[in-house]
Amino acid sequence: MKEILLRGGGYLTIHPRRQSLQEAGKTLDESVRTITNQSARAARRGGRLRSAHFNVLLALRTDRVRGLPTADEYLSHFVAKGWLIEALALLSPTSRDEHVYKLFGAPTCYVYDSTDLDIGQMVGQVRNHFGWA
C-alpha cells in the first residue's frame, strides 16, 4: 500500500501494481477477492477509525490478453459488485475506447500517444487532470 498526498490535503491510499490485472493473470473474481481482502486488512489497521471508501488505482488493458476479459468487462464486474468508478485514465485511447468508457459516467483523463511519453510525463498528466498531488 502507498499513501499519496493530495493537493487539497489528506491522503489517497493505493495498492500500486506494475502490470495490468490481465497481465498478472487475475480473473474477474480473483481481482475482486484480492482487493476486498486488502481493503479489510487496511480497515483492521485503522483500529476504531473506519473509512467510508477504499480507493483502488489499477491498470486494465482494453485488449484481450491471456484469454482474460477486457477492461470494460472488469469495470462492469466491479460495478455489479457494488463498487463505484470514481475516475478513469485511458492511455492512447482509440475512438472505440472513448465511446465505451464514457458510458461508465466517470470523469476520464485521456492521455494520447502515451507510448511516446516517459512514465513521469504520463503520471503527471493524470495527476494534474484529477488534481492529485
24-41 burial code (b ≥16 CB/10 A, e <16): bebebeebbeebeeebee
* Span 7-46, pLDDT tens digits: 777 777 666 667 889 999 999 999 999 888 888 887 787 6
Question: Where in the sequence is the domain holding 27, given as residue range(s)?
Answer: 1-84
Q: What's the domain count of the chain? A: 2
Same domain, 77 and 92: no
Is the model's pTM score more than 0.85?
A: no
Q: At 65, which amino acid appears?
A: V
Helix 28-45 and helix 71-80: axis angle, to 10°?
50
**Residue 133 pLDDT exceeds 70:** no
Same domain, 55 and 116: no
Same domain, 18 and 31: yes
Count CA atoms within 13 Å of residue 132 on its CB side.
18
The whole-angstrom separation of Cα 59 and Cα 123 is 13
Q: What mean pLDDT do residues 100-113 have?
A: 93
Q: What mean pLDDT do residues 108-121 have?
A: 89
The whole-angstrom separation of Cα 123 and Cα 85 is 19
Same domain, 14 and 77: yes
